[in-house]
Structure 1
Amino acid sequence: MIAVTGANGLLGSYIVRKLLAEKIPFIALKRSGSDTSLLNDINSQITWRDADVLDLPALHNALQHVSGVIHAAALVSFNPRDKKKLFAANIEGTKNMVNACLLLGITRFLHISSVAALGRLNGQRVITEENKWTDSTLNSAYAESKYRAELEVFRGQEEGLSTVIVNPSVILSRSDWNRSSSQLFKYVWNQRPFYIDGSLNYVDVRDLSEAIVRLYQSDFEGERFILNAGSIPYHDFFAAVAKQFNRTPPRIKLSKTMLTWLARAERVRSALTGANPLITPETARLAGTSFFYSNQKISAALNMAFQPIEQSIDWCCDWYKAQAGKK
């Protein structure tokens, strides 16, 4: 029996769907009272257990009769004031999951990390699984939290847990476009005028969930795999989405200086209103960078072929258009 943490989230919900389609037994973990609307159509087929990854007693109860874990629960934020929350959810939460597995004799642990955990340096272009973390102004607090979470997984491997780590890039998905990477589609739908230099590394959630389940079932252990289909300039991505939406694409390129000033203004607005800033100093520093995350390792390991970007955009946009039409 597999336990999936964060099963009600953007990625977790697709992992659940994949496990159901493959008829693989699982239980779904979520925090008490959290939203499960992404799985409304199949909710009756899911066995839910409530457990916060920061609540060890609850985790021990929820993980009874489980042989393996797919750990998808995480917090994603680039807001500087969320640093403590990031470290708690992503580092302490992963530490608790690893410790619970070791204590309960759970043998398999697949951890969903991020390409951000691989680190970034100025002048670097291609990043592989062999990349070594180096402190850099290009690494956000979120990136550090995911890197330090991986250290907990590596510790678990040393202590007898069979582990594998996946490092996805930006996930293209049909989901709530007010959350996470799906906000990219809402940005275009709302006909925002600005775009930035640099490129978007992306992976279709359907490819990602398939790779996760296959890696969980594989003999690989003590390894990490980048899950990235490709890279596309932000300008081209926004233009392709706008074409599908029949919207005007962003046409004004923001310079680094403009982004820096905008981030400062957003910090003030956020402090006054309590709303999350649209741009932060961390995201401003990353603007204009063009890293490429190599997918050679996963392609060879699973003979993996990824969805073309055109098909991923069409698939996502068709759904978002239908959802917008219901409102």
Structure 2
Amino acid sequence: MVLITGGTGLVGAHILLHLTENGEKVRALYRNQKSIEKTKFLFDLYQKGNLFQEIEWTQGNINDIPSLEKAFIGIDFVYHSAGLISFDPKDENLLRKTNIEGTANIVNFCLAKNVKKLCHLSSVAALGDLAEHESIVTEEIEWNPEKHHSDYAISKYGAEMEIWRGQQEGLQTVIINPGVILGPGFNKQGSGLLLNKVAKGLRFYTKGITGFVAVSDVAITATQLMKSDISNQRYILIADNFCYQDIINSMCDALKVKRPTILAKAWQLEIAWRIDKISSILFLKKRSLTKDIAKASYSEKYFSNKKIKADLQTRFLDIHQYIIELTQLQKL
């Protein structure tokens, strides 16, 4: 049997969909009934509601040891996609608790229960830092602790250290580092939230560059790696590197709304995140623009997908075409 953590999130739900489509026996963790409804909505969106009934749900979370004891009964393979994504400095402790300690718990149970293989869904944020003579991030780039990293990046890097610890203790592992993941069904987070904002009209755009990938490619590649003889490796998953402006323009065109016309420059974003910080303190509201988000929006970072293409002959979906299909699927 296969266990999926994070089955009520974008990636985990798509892994569940892909596994059930292929007749796999799956079990998934959930926190509450409301969170399960998000995954059910996704299955219905793909007109696969009948497959949703094939999932065995077990209540718990990755920091609840008794619930994990129950969840790991009879498990052979684990996809660990549960985690917290936040760039709000106030969430530093929660990020460490969820992403590092939670992953350590999963690794410990995998070792104790003799799990055959663990797939960890990480992020490109956990990858290393380019040296002066380097221009593209690969799986071999080393992490430089002297450089600034967001709390989220540090927590994902710490989580990977737990995976490598498990590997050293005999656990077969594979780590996936996706770029920005585009996918349907979760309209209040990630790409779903961005699509909704674009649909309502955006005035500003940025010139930052990073890697993008379709969620279906992430789910399919994860299952392919788990079924392969490959172990104790990490893989960057991106279809290609794109400018944020290009992605937003594609969304605008697919939604038939006006493209943003005002470039938000780096110095303007630096002022904006400071204003947002003050506003959050005065009005006790959650941060909407942090220093790390602002920096990411104008930074140019290129990632390589050569390793996964070489080892699995992976062919990624065209991102611009996928955006068109995404908007049609969600009927935005």
TM range (shorter): over 0.9
Equivalent position of 2:251 in the other structure? 241
Equivalent position of 1:253 in the other structure? 263
2:68 corresponds, among 34, 48, 59, to 59
How far the C-alpha of 1:233 sits from its partner, in A, is: 1.1
Whole-angstrom distance in 2 between the partners of 1:24 and 1:138: 42
After superposition, what is the alpha-carbon deviation per residue over 1:261-308, rounded to whole angstroms, capped at 9, x for unaligned?
A: 110111122234444322101112223221111111101111110111
Q: Secondary structure at the match of 1:23?
A: coil
Does residue 1:178 correspond to 2:188, yes or no? yes
After TM superposition, what 4+ stretches of structure 1 lie above 4 angstroms from structure 2? 121-124
Normalized against structure 2, the TM-score is what?
A: 0.92
Equivalent position of 1:162 in the other structure? 172
Equivalent position of 2:158 in the other structure? 148
Does residue 1:39 correspond to 2:39, yes or no? yes
Q: Is the 8 A contact 1:120 1:138 kept in 2?
A: no
Whole-angstrom distance in 1 between the partners of 2:33 and 2:279: 30
**5+ residue gaps in structure 1?**
none
Equivalent position of 1:197 in the other structure? 207
Whole-angstrom distance in 2 between the partners of 1:155 and 1:45: 33
Does residue 1:100 correspond to 2:121, yes or no? no
How far the C-alpha of 1:121 sits from its partner, in A, is: 4.4
- Residue type at the aligned position of 1:227: L
Whole-angstrom distance in 2 between the partners of 1:12 and 1:283: 24
Name the Cα RMSD after superposition: 1.6
Whole-angstrom distance in 1 between the partners of 2:110 and 2:264: 47
Whole-angstrom distance in 2 between the partners of 1:218 and 1:77: 32
Q: Is the 8 A contact 1:111 1:165 kept in 2?
A: yes
Q: Is the 8 A contact 2:206 2:244 kept in 1?
A: yes
Whole-angstrom distance in 1 between the partners of 2:183 and 2:98: 23
Identity level (%): 34
**5+ residue gaps in structure 2?**
none
Normalized against structure 1, the TM-score is what?
A: 0.94
Q: How many residues are aligned here? A: 322
The residue correspondences of 1:7-46 to structure 2 (distance < 5 A) are 7-40=7-40, 41=44, 42=49, 43-46=52-55
How far the C-alpha of 1:84 sits from its partner, in A, is: 0.8
After superposition, what is the alpha-carbon deviation per residue over 1:66-97, rounded to whole angstroms, capped at 9, x for unaligned?
A: 11110010100111111111111100000000
After superposition, what is the alpha-carbon deviation per residue over 1:299-322, rounded to whole angstroms, capped at 9, x for unaligned?
A: 1111110111221111111123x1
Q: Is the 8 A contact 1:76 1:180 kept in 2?
A: no
Q: Is the 8 A contact 1:120 1:139 kept in 2?
A: no
Equivalent position of 2:304 in the other structure? 294
Equivalent position of 2:241 in the other structure? 231
Q: Is the 8 A contact 1:125 1:290 kept in 2?
A: no
Whole-angstrom distance in 1 between the partners of 2:273 and 2:36: 33
Q: Is the 8 A contact 1:120 1:136 kept in 2?
A: no
CA distance 1:273–1:312, change in 2 (3 Å): farther
